[in-house]
């Protein structure tokens, strides 16, 4: 590229024109009430699939070794939302995009973090435990972080005022689509372990594929809108996701966790539950364009980034595994 073209490209990504900013903030994606109901059901089923892996022993492990999960929760719900707010203040994207970033940064770990941790040869058991803890904590922390950091950004504050955001309604929504399936999965796993062993893997695979097809269909229905802001969204999400992975990694390293645990914390913090973000956006923000596009692309990109990180780590064993650690 010529220097002038590079500057124009840079300006388009990080300093969009007033017209583009205005257009993105006014766009609402095509999504009706029935589709929203289906989305909520699918997210609940995906959470149920994850919770089928949970056993009471996972919670006992947290009690015996609380340091790793505590560092993960600190990075997930304190550091990431705060640093996300800082990133929105530096990049200053369109307000709806900035609020979408804050919302995603306030969500718990994603459902795919456990399998990615396993592929990365990290502490998969701790990853499952952290997913359970972050999901439970999200009932309170996600609406709290969204309100606090969204309010502190002067560009996103008018959106929160416009929607008259009710933290209690968000609390109930998250409880129903995450908390209830989590509890139900633990009960089913306890009462019918034989059945769970048979259905666990196919249930998770099928529910994820149906969800992916559903999101793909929604993206296709709004493809023309997505293409208009593709460059901006791709680079913003890339930087944001790199920030999330870095916060998980360096927090775990600063706490002197084993490499085995570092991999679990890194992936857990870097893989956000963008599906939850989507349902909150369509429930409370009317499918506001910038927010929905950020959440939708996050759902695609964090899979690519997570599998890339897992692929790199899978090539070498991690120190600290039980078979390698001193008794």
Helices 67-74 and 230-254 pack at an angle, to 10 degrees, of 150
pLDDT at 79: 95
Tally the domains of the chain. 1
Please state the rounded mean pLDDT for residues 203-211: 72
User: Whole-number mean pLDDT of the chain?
Assistant: 77
Residue 222 forms part of a structural domain: yes
In the chain, the percentage of residues whose pLDDT exceeds 70 is: 74
Position 26 pLDDT exceeds 60: no
Residue 292 forms part of a structural domain: yes
Q: Which pLDDT band holds residue 223 (cuts at 50, 70, 90)?
A: low
Residue 16 forms part of a structural domain: no
Residue 10 forms part of a structural domain: no
- 170-181: per-residue pLDDT in tens? 777 777 777 788
Please state the rounded mean pLDDT for residues 39-49: 74
Please state the rounded mean pLDDT for residues 186-201: 78
Q: What is the CATH number of the domain that holds 133?
A: 1.20.1530.20
pLDDT at 323: 52
Specify the range with the lowest mean pLDDT, choosing from 19-33, 77-91, 207-221, 237-251: 19-33
Residue 1 forms part of a structural domain: no
156 vs 274, which has greater pLDDT? 156
- 254-299: per-residue pLDDT in tens? 999 888 899 999 999 998 888 788 888 887 887 777 788 888 788 8
Position 12 pLDDT exceeds 60: no
pLDDT at 86: 95
Residue 93 forms part of a structural domain: yes
pLDDT at 116: 83
Please state the rounded mean pLDDT for residues 37-56: 72
pLDDT at 286: 75
Please state the rounded mean pLDDT for residues 13-27: 46
Residue 325 forms part of a structural domain: no
44 vs 238, which has greater pLDDT? 238
Range of the domain at 50: 31-313
Question: Per the structure block, which two tokens stand in for 64?
Answer: 């015996």
pLDDT at 292: 81
The residue to which tokens 């956000």 are assigned? 272
Specify the range with the lowest mean pLDDT, choosing from 95-109, 171-185, 243-257, 312-326: 312-326
pLDDT at 183: 80
Residue 38 forms part of a structural domain: yes
Q: What are phi and psi of 184, to 5 degrees?
A: -65, -40
């Amino acid at each position: 590229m010529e220097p002038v073209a590079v500057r124009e490209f840079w300006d388009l990504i990080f300093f969009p024109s007033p017209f583009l900013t205005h257009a993105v903030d006014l766009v609402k994606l095509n999504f009706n009430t029935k589709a929203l109901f289906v989305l909520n059901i699918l997210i609940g089923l995906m959470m149920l699939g994850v919770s089928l892996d949970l056993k009471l022993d996972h919670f006992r492990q947290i009690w015996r070794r609380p340091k790793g999960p505590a560092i993960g929760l600190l990075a997930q719900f304190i550091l990431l939302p705060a640093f996300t707010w800082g990133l929105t203040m530096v990049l200053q994207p369109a307000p709806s995009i900035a609020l979408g970033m804050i919302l995603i940064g306030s969500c718990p770990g994603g459902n795919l973090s456990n399998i990615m941790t396993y592929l990365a040869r990290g502490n998969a058991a701790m990853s499952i435990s952290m997913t359970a803890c972050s999901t439970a904590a999200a009932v309170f922390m996600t609406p709290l972080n969204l309100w606090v950091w969204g309010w502190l950004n002067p560009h996103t504050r008018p959106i929160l005022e416009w929607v008259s955001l009710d933290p209690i309604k968000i609390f109930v929504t998250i409880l129903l689509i995450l908390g209830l399936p989590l509890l139900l999965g633990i009960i089913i796993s306890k009462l019918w372990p034989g059945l769970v062993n048979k259905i666990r893997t196919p249930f998770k695979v099928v529910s994820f594929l149906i969800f992916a097809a559903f999101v793909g269909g929604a993206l296709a229905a709004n493809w023309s809108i997505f293409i208009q802001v593709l460059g901006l969204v791709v680079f913003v999400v890339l930087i944001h996701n790199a920030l999330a992975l870095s916060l998980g990694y360096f927090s775990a390293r600063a706490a002197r966790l084993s490499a085995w645990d570092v991999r679990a914390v890194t992936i857990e913090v870097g893989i956000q539950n963008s599906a939850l973000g989507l349902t909150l956006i369509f429930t409370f923000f009317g499918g506001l364009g910038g927010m929905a596009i950020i959440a939708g692309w996050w759902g695609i990109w964090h899979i690519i980034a997570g599998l890339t990180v897992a692929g790199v780590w899978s090539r070498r064993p991690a120190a600290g595994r039980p078979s390698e650690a001193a008794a």
